[in-house]
Chains A and B, each alone.
Chain A
Amino acid sequence: MYNFDFVKPSSIADAVAALAGEDAQPLSGGQTLIPSMKARLNAPGTLVSLTGIPELVGVCREGDMLVIGAATTHAQVARDAAADFPGLAALAGQIGDPAVRNRGTIGGSLANNDPSACYPAAALGTGATIVTDRREIGADDYFQGMFTTALEEGEIITAVRFPIPQASAYAKFVQPASRFALTAAFVARFESGVRVAITGASENGVFRWAEAEAALSSDFSADAIAGLACSPDEMIADLHGTAAYRAHLVGVMTRRAVAAAG
């Protein structure tokens, strides 16, 4: 890969200042960014590491919310969120493999917004709030398409605030080579209704399956959506699966998630 200047600030303010420089990019766990730099798909002039900022790390219950620092690894979320939000902990424990989970972070995943990543499904599926160095963004406004988010140039995620659902589960059909989701569903039941977010399927990235949400909000059972089909329009089609196959998986994985959430 091309060389770059490396800086590791110890505060959010210093990180934001460093990111204002020309060709500067943030580095979190690097599990996507480093491979993309090796492939020369990405060549920052300066990398600003976010892993030396203590306030960006941790899992903390605040009332009916679970607040997770942006630089918290998947392994730590899998461990520390298990008691308060088991659906989210289980999702984190299915990302990549153990070594990837020890480096990769929730903030990195959400900033990258890979169309097959796991965390976007949990954030959109709960209506989480993405907290940045300058504002708060609701998940419904944050995800804007494949690898596209509401983040501005130089803006960094500092935390994610998840409303804790009454019940939730993530059902993932693994693409075994990449260990990303071929298609996966996150289902969350709240007193106010049910949210369903699908990742891995759409060319527009993570999305909410409105028809399933409506059906599940009146009857939270796999049977309630047994006859429901998701349109294959704008679904991803590649060597791993056709658009029609992914559309079929949307239904299957949603039903599995509902059954697992109970």
Chain B
Amino acid sequence: MGKVTMTVNGRARSAEVEGRTLLSSFLRDGLELTGTHVGCDTSQCGACVVLVNGQAVKSCTAFAADLDGAEVTTVEGMANPDGSLGRIQQAFQDYHGLQCGYCTPGMVMSTAALLAENPKPTEEEVRHYLEGNICRCTGYQNIVRAVMAASGQDVGALAAE
């Protein structure tokens, strides 16, 4: 056991971890930030994506001990300071970018990473970037619309499928 400290959603947070403690377990069990979902636990589905030092990372496939000192943002950190939905979250609600909601935390965090490096992505770039995030409900169309809306682009221009 050892103590790991990270800046999570702007606050310094610490928890005791084993070597094998995954970042997803550190967040969910150690810090009780259960917004990060664990879907497949085999790094296929992307539900557990969080930002580590600004980059999208699958939190089920990184050890907490390896990220001591890192700056982490989870879906809990995406809301506005007054607690209302942040821009990306609101777009997912407005454009029905979720049904069961299981994949949504990962979708929101991958979208945040995408828009940070590419503020006005094309539809093709959105689909390419979200390749590692699997949704079994929506067929992705409304997710892509939500991402385009979150980037301030005209959603009406997207081809209907």
Nearest-CB residue, chain A, relative to B43: A35
Per-residue 0/1 for B11-34: is the Cβ within 8 Å of any A Cβ (1 yes, 0 no)? 000000011101000000000000
Nearest-CB residue, chain A, relative to B113: A98
Known contacts A35-B61, A98-B110; is-contact A3 B132 (Cβ 8 Å)? no
Distance of A16 from chain B, by nearest CB (Å):
19
Q: What residues of chain B lie closer than 8 Å to A102, measured between beta carbons?
A: 52, 55-57
Query: Are A30 and B110 within 8 A (Cβ)?
Result: no
**A167: CB under 8 A from chain B?**
no
Q: What separation, in Å, do the CA atoms of A99 and B113 have in the docked complex?
A: 9
> How many B residues, CB 8 Å from partner?
29
**A157: CB under 8 A from chain B?**
no
Distance of A126 from chain B, by nearest CB (Å):
26
Query: Are B58 and A99 within 8 A (Cβ)?
Result: yes
Segment at the interface with B among A4-12, A139-147, A183-191: A4-12
Query: Are A99 and B65 within 8 A (Cβ)?
Result: no
Query: Are A34 and B63 within 8 A (Cβ)?
Result: yes
Q: CB within 8 A of A179: which of B52, B61, B131?
A: B131
Q: CB within 8 A of A8: which of B46, B49, B65, B133?
A: B65
Q: What residues of chain B lie closer than 8 Å to A103, measured between beta carbons?
A: 57-58, 61-62
Known contacts A30-B62, A99-B56, A99-B110; is-contact A4 B132 (Cβ 8 Å)? no
**A258: CB under 8 A from chain B?**
no
Q: What separation, in Å, do the CA atoms of A98 and B50 have in the docked complex?
A: 12
Q: What residues of chain A lie closer than 8 Å to B131, measured between beta carbons?
A: 97-98, 179
**A225: CB under 8 A from chain B?**
no
> How many A residues, CB 8 Å from partner?
27
Distance of A96 from chain B, by nearest CB (Å):
7
Distance of B32 from chain A, by nearest CB (Å):
22
Query: Are B20 and A27 within 8 A (Cβ)?
Result: no
Query: Are B132 and A31 within 8 A (Cβ)?
Result: no
Per-residue 0/1 for A189-207: is the Cβ within 8 Å of any B Cβ (1 yes, 0 no)? 0000000000000000000
Query: Are B57 and A31 within 8 A (Cβ)?
Result: no
Q: What residues of chain A lie closer than 8 Å to B133, measured between beta carbons?
A: 97
Query: Are A97 and B63 within 8 A (Cβ)?
Result: no
Known contacts A99-B49, A177-B44; is-contact A49 B66 (Cβ 8 Å)? yes
Query: Are B41 and A38 within 8 A (Cβ)?
Result: yes
Query: Are B42 and A38 within 8 A (Cβ)?
Result: yes
Known contacts A27-B66, A49-B66, A177-B44; is-contact A97 B61 (Cβ 8 Å)? no
Q: What separation, in Å, do the CA atoms of A198 and B110 have in the docked complex?
A: 32
Per-residue 0/1 for A234-257: is the Cβ within 8 Å of any B Cβ (1 yes, 0 no)? 000000000000000000000000
Q: CB within 8 A of B129: which of A31, A35, A98, A100?
A: A98
Per-residue 0/1 for A4-44: is the Cβ within 8 Å of any B Cβ (1 yes, 0 no)? 11101000000000000000000100110011011000000
Q: What residues of chain B lie closer than 8 Å to A229, measured between beta carbons?
A: none
Per-residue 0/1 for A92-130: is the Cβ within 8 Å of any B Cβ (1 yes, 0 no)? 000011111011000000000000000000000000000
Known contacts A8-B66, A98-B113, A98-B129; is-contact A3 B20 (Cβ 8 Å)? yes
**What are the 7 tightest A-B residue pairs by CB atom distance, in nearest-first order?**
A97-B132, A6-B19, A102-B55, A6-B65, A99-B56, A4-B19, A97-B131
A-B contact pairs, 18 of them (CB 8 A): A2-B20, A3-B20, A8-B66, A30-B62, A34-B43, A34-B61, A35-B43, A35-B61, A96-B132, A98-B113, A98-B131, A99-B57, A99-B110, A100-B58, A102-B57, A103-B57, A103-B62, A179-B132
Q: A35-B43, A35-B61, A98-B132 known; 5 other A-B pairs, CB under 8 Å?
A: A4-B20, A34-B62, A98-B113, A98-B114, A99-B110
Task: Please give the residue numbers on chain A whose beta carbons come within 8 Å of chain B beta carbons, in ascending order.
Answer: 1-6, 8, 27, 30-31, 34-35, 37-38, 47, 49, 51, 75, 96-100, 102-103, 177, 179
